[in-house]
Amino acid sequence: MAVLDILEYPNPVLRQPCRPIEAAELLQPAMQALITDMVDTMYACPGAVGLAAPQIGQPVQLLVMDATAKTDRSMLKVVINPVVLSQSKWKASREGCLSFPDYLITVKRARKVEAHWLDATGQRVDETLLEYEAVIFQHELDHLQGVLFIDRMRNPQRDLIRRSELEASQTNV
C-alpha cells in the first residue's frame, strides 16, 4: 500500500509508551491498512528486520518483524499487544535501528524469549523466539515501551559506533 516515513531520534513519539490495541479495533480497515503499510515500509528499508508502530508515529502496541531481512517472507510476524512470559541468559550483540540510521550499538539481549501476542487476524500466538529473532523481538518491544536502544548502552565510548566508521574500518583491512 504505502511506504511510510520513519521517525528519527529525538522525536518525542519514540519515548511514549504505547497503548494496547482493542480487539474491535484490530479488524477495522484502518488498522489492517496500518499493518500492511508497516510491512511495506519495513521491506522497503535495506537490511531492516523489524519496525514498531511508534517509529511511524503510531503509539500502539504493534510491531512487524522478519529475521530473513527480505530474502523471503517466510518468517514475517505481525505482533500485536505482546507479552513476555520468560527470558533466558543474555548475550551482547551489535544492533542498528531505523530511528538511528547512522549508528550501531552493542546491547545485551536474552537469547531466548517466550511470549504471546495477537496476529493480524486477532488470533493468539504463543511462541518461543531464539537467537536473532529473540533480539529483534526485544528491540521492537522496547520501542512499544518508549525505550530506545541507546537506553540499554552501558559504555557509550565502547558500545556506540557510527556506521561510517565501521564501513571505513572494514575497507581498510
Residues belonging to the active site = 140
Nearest alpha carbon to residue 150 among 96, 112, 113, 111: 96
Element (H, E) at 96: strand 90-97
Q: Which residues share a beta bridge with 77?
A: 65
H helical segments located in the chain: 23-26, 29-44, 131-144, 156-159, 163-171
Write out the E strands in 21-89: 50-52, 62-65, 77-87
- The cell numbers describing 63, all together, are 510491531
For 37, which DSSP code? H
For residues 98 and 121, what is the distance between their CA atoms, to the nearest angstrom? 26
For residues 51 and 49, what is the distance between their CA atoms, to the nearest angstrom? 7
